[in-house]
Amino acid sequence: MVNESICEIDAETEDALTKLIMDCPELSELEAILSRFNIFHVLKAARHEIRHSNMLAWLMTPSENHSLSDTFIRRWLMQVVYEAEHNLEVLSDLPSPIEIDALEIEFVEVARETNNIDLLIVIHPKNRDEWVICIENKVNATQRKNQLNDYRSYVEKRYTSAEHLLFIFLTKNDEEPEDRKFISSKYTVIEKVLKSCLEEKTDIIGPEPKFLIQQYLELLSEDFMDDNRASYLARQIYKSHKKAIDFILKNIDDPRSEASRIMEDVLATNQEELGIVLAPNHKGLVRFLPKAWDIPENSGGTAWGTNSRYLLCEVTFWTKNAELHITIGRAPDSWADKVWDRASMPPFKQEWKKRPTSFIKPYKSRSSFRVENLLDEEEEDIKSKFLAWISKELKRDKFLEAVEELKNMLNELDVEQR
């Protein structure tokens, strides 16, 4: 493990830490709650909209093996419509909860990612035109500009004969839909209705689907509800042991900071062997440049401090996997334009349709190791992994070609222009 040494602390802080671990029954209860097995946590599905949408698609399909039939989708729709805010423009187009309750449903089609729509549901009632429900699901992300409007336009054009078109903005938070035709609904409604359905149908639901539903309800209760037991305990613990917890938070290991420190040490120790010159660093970013770029033309910039480089390499830990970038920062426009044009051909790559104003990254290479898992290893093992990776990257034919191309372009920088 990384950074395991115990720092010196004052007597008051040590006493606060001792009380936290020795005299805090709430902490033991909280640990028991958080340590419970949950399949959705194991699959890292808690914060992924796609996996929530997949689970909801299963629950909303009456023919699936959950034995809920159409009870869940029917009651969820009733609750969503019932709780809809008073918006006459929307409410005038909505069926009433009574109408939904009395609806004779023959079958339901649930589609995922049709025209990028998270959930597109078509209910086929008996002797009536179809009902179409468009659901945009937001767990952590926020809506893009005109996203909801685009989805609504698609549905309205495709389902011209539908009796009802319902547009629902399902969110974990309190974000309001930009398109006023969308009804806002929260995951609290999902949890409330699903819990009621499980209690009512518990005798006929098989053990496997029952386990899955129970696990999902537990996930919703722990991660999506504001008034759950775990949240209450956490608040009580912090209130009673604020000094100790603040100290822990201040000194807790941060994977990006630790990874940056270790990579900086690796580069500093091996810079002659690697043929590099170090540059100013920042949290999560370790900078250097090949010696071929350590020339007068590559100076006088402002991107990384006074009289800094125009062109350098960055190892970034702000991505899921560590990456090596070649970065041009705030270079003269005419020269940056030339670099951008050259980036349209190998070994470079243009990531954007238009040239970025300040920072151009014409070269990227991704490592195989995940940043969030780095601190699970011993520091010496991490150093060995970093050195092996960066040594290999700096010897790649593509990288060497990029270095040579950009070196030649640096020679074109006009001193007066700078």
By C-alpha distance, which of 392, 387, 378, 390 is closest to 266? Answer: 387
pLDDT digits (tens, 9 = 90+) for 2-28: 444 444 567 777 777 677 667 677 666
Both 201 and 87 in a single domain?
yes
Q: Which residues pair with 124 in a beta bridge?
A: 107
Both 156 and 266 in a single domain?
no
Both 56 and 147 in a single domain?
yes
Both 270 and 154 in a single domain?
no
Q: Is the pLDDT of residue 29 over 70?
A: no
For residue 115, tell me if it sits in a domain. yes
Cα 356 to Cα 358: distance, rounded to the nearest angstrom = 6
Q: Is the pLDDT of residue 414 over 70?
A: no
Both 49 and 159 in a single domain?
yes
Residues 6+ apart with CB under 8 A from 313: 276, 287, 288, 289, 290, 324, 325, 326, 327
User: Please, what is the average pLDDT of the chain?
Assistant: 83
Least trusted range by pLDDT, from 135-144, 285-294, 336-345, 356-365: 135-144
In the numeric block, which tokens belong to residue 70?
């159409």
Q: Please identify which residue in the block is written with the tokens 């250097």.
A: 288
Q: Is residue 67 a contact partner of residue 76, using CB atoms and an 8 Å limit?
A: no
Report which of residues 303 and 32 the model is more confident about: 303
For residue 108, tell me if it sits in a domain. yes
Number of continuous H segments (helices) and E segments (strands) in the chain: 17, 10
Total of domains in the chain: 2
For residue 81, tell me if it sits in a domain. yes
Q: Which long-range contacts (CB under 8 A, 24 or more apart) does 276-281 make?
A: 276/313, 276/394, 279/304, 279/308, 279/309, 279/312, 280/304, 280/305, 280/308
Instruction: Single out the residue in 166, 190, 205 at which a domain terminates.
Output: 205
For residue 5, tell me if it sits in a domain. no
What pLDDT score was predicted for residue 106? 92
Residues 6+ apart with CB under 8 A from 249: none
Both 188 and 266 in a single domain?
no
Least trusted range by pLDDT, from 87-96, 149-158, 268-277, 305-314: 87-96
For residue 250, tell me if it sits in a domain. no
Q: How many CB atoms lie within 10 A of CB 145?
A: 8
Q: If you average pLDDT over residues 372-376, what whole number do you get?
A: 77
- Which regions of 101-255 does DSSP assign to beta strands (E)? 105-114, 117-125, 131-138, 164-171, 182-186
Both 265 and 123 in a single domain?
no
The one-character DSSP state at 35 is T
pLDDT digits (tens, 9 = 90+) for 177-191: 888 889 989 888 999
Report which of residues 50 and 336 the model is more confident about: 336
Instruction: Single out the residue in 144, 175, 205 at which a domain terminates.
Output: 205
Which runs of consecutive H residues, i.e. helices, occur in 270-306?
Answer: 271-274
Q: If you average pLDDT over residues 255-266, what whole number do you get?
A: 89
Both 86 and 196 in a single domain?
yes
Both 200 and 330 in a single domain?
no
Both 183 and 297 in a single domain?
no
| Residues 205, 207, 211, 213, Cα dihedral to 10° | -10
For residue 238, tell me if it sits in a domain. no
From the number of C-beta atoms within 10 Å of its C-beta (0-12, 13-18, 19+), residue 342 rates as: middle
Q: Please identify which residue in the block is written with the tokens 């606060």.
A: 16
What pLDDT score was predicted for residue 88? 46
Report which of residues 371 and 236 the model is more confident about: 371
pLDDT digits (tens, 9 = 90+) for 339-363: 999 988 999 987 777 888 888 999 9
Q: What are phi and psi of 181, to 5 degrees?
A: -80, -10
Both 272 and 381 in a single domain?
yes
- Residue 77 — pLDDT band, cuts 50, 70, 90? very high
For residue 355, tell me if it sits in a domain. yes
Range of the structural domain that residue 77 is part of: 45-205
For residue 234, tell me if it sits in a domain. no
Instruction: Single out the residue in 205, 235, 266 at which a domain terminates.
Output: 205
Both 324 and 386 in a single domain?
yes
What pLDDT score was predicted for residue 44? 47
